[in-house]
């Protein structure tokens, strides 16, 4: 076990979006500085100590970044393996490479979860277009074809209603049987360097057009299922020797919980913790990767988190006037349809 990061130490963050921004704020509250690595526009850069604006393939920039920080974490999971090798030869990466490898690829992820004895949607490998008929024959319809890599907000997904349908994602994919769920929930779990685990109350998620719209706590699912969800998330974290915060997305079905996917980072569905807990998911992640004791995950309020997407920004005057609303804006200069511009936490009690 390593010593905790000393005050003033620098945390390197791969990815400069809103998650990196909120991690950066949390890190500075704990007396740390952050260095953001981001090839594009970086809302996180506004609240960081330093920014490297370079491609994820730029070996020289990656080397300088790693040498300038004490530990490396990420909010973006698709950094190329060679670049991670280089970074890791200089500084520790937390959460570890295995967690990244497993969650970067939907097929590897499903196999990992299945091998842990957890339930997933039925799935079949569809490496190329010519594998599609066999996969459809095995899984049937309704089903969803998802690219193995790089998908987010429902992008890279095609729904199948007919086994004769011949649409293709254009990239290596996995065909998933449609899960008949009554609700979608997610658990945000944290694991420290010493192996201790803390979990937050599962939230219930509503999606619209493939994008998370709201997360509500409490989720309304039976207490026995809450326990199941938390134990399952802790098992995944332990199996990966995970350090940091992880999001686990689950479907609630009549037969129990089905794991949809895991995210090796702070998660949009955990934003409610900013208004519902003493230590939110961002501080929790920084504590974990810095080698500090984890905070308590206890929930003190009922909260509805709502994403502000695109034109939702027009509602700002009304939201600013609402006494029970906590507002988080990401400082993105351009409002675009489907773009996450901020979120609110409405505190119900």
> Where do contacts with ligand ATP occur on this chain (CB under 6 A)?
121, 144, 146, 151-155, 176, 178-179, 184, 207, 210, 212, 249, 260-261
Residues lying near Mg ion in the complex (CB under 5 A): 249
Residue at token pair 């609630």: 252
Report the DSSP beta bridge partners of residue 244: 191
Q: Which of ligand ATP, Mg ion, none binds 291 (CB below 5-8 Å, type-dependent)?
A: none
Least spacing, CB of residue 105 vs ligand ATP, in Å:
12
Least spacing, CB of residue 152 vs ligand ATP, in Å:
4
Q: Cα–chain-centroid distance for residue 171?
A: 22
Q: Which of ligand ATP, Mg ion, none binds 35 (CB below 5-8 Å, type-dependent)?
A: none
C-beta of 67 vs 180, nearer to ligand ATP: 180
Terminal alpha carbon distance of the chain = 40
Least spacing, CB of residue 210 vs ligand ATP, in Å:
6
C-beta of 260 vs 284, nearer to ligand ATP: 260
C-beta of 34 vs 216, nearer to ligand ATP: 216
C-beta of 142 vs 291, nearer to ligand ATP: 142
Least spacing, CB of residue 260 vs ligand ATP, in Å:
5
C-beta of 62 vs 312, nearer to ligand ATP: 312
Least spacing, CB of residue 61 vs ligand ATP, in Å:
27
């Amino acid at each position: 076990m390593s010593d905790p990061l000393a005050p003033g130490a620098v945390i390197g963050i791969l990815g400069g979006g809103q998650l990196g921004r909120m991690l950066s704020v949390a890190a500075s509250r704990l007396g740390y500085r952050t260095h953001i690595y981001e090839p594009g526009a970086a809302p996180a850069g506004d609240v960081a100590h330093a920014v490297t604006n370079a491609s994820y393939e730029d070996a020289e920039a990656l080397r300088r970044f790693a040498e300038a920080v004490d530990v490396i974490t990420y909010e973006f999971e698709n950094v190329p393996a060679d670049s991670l090798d280089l970074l890791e030869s200089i500084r520790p990466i937390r959460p570890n490479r295995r967690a990244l490898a497993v969650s970067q690829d939907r097929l590897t992820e499903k196999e990992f979860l299945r091998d842990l004895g957890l339930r997933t949607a039925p799935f079949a490998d569809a490496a190329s277009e010519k594998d599609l008929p066999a996969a459809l024959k095995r899984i049937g319809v309704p089903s969803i074809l998802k690219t193995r890599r790089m998908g987010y907000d429902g992008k890279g997904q095609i729904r199948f209603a007919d086994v004769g349908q011949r649409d293709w994602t254009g990239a290596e994919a996995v065909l998933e049987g449609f899960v008949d769920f009554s609700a979608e929930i997610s658990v945000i779990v944290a694991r420290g360097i010493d192996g201790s685990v803390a979990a937050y109350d599962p939230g219930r998620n509503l999606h619209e057009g493939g994008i998370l719209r709201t997360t509500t706590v409490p989720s309304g699912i039976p207490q026995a299922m809450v326990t199941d969800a938390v134990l399952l998330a802790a098992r995944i974290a332990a199996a990966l020797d995970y350090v940091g915060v992880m999001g686990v997305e689950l479907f609630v079905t009549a037969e129990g919980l089905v794991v949809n996917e895991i995210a090796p980072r702070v998660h949009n569905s955990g934003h409610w913790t900013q208004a519902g807990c003493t230590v939110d998911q961002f501080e929790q992640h920084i504590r974990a990767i810095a080698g500090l004791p984890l905070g308590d995950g206890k929930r003190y309020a009922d909260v509805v988190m709502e994403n502000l997407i695109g034109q939702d920004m027009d509602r700002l005057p009304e939201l600013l006037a609402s006494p029970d609303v906590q507002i988080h804006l990401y400082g993105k200069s351009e409002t675009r349809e489907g773009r996450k511009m901020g979120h609110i936490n409405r505190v119900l009690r």
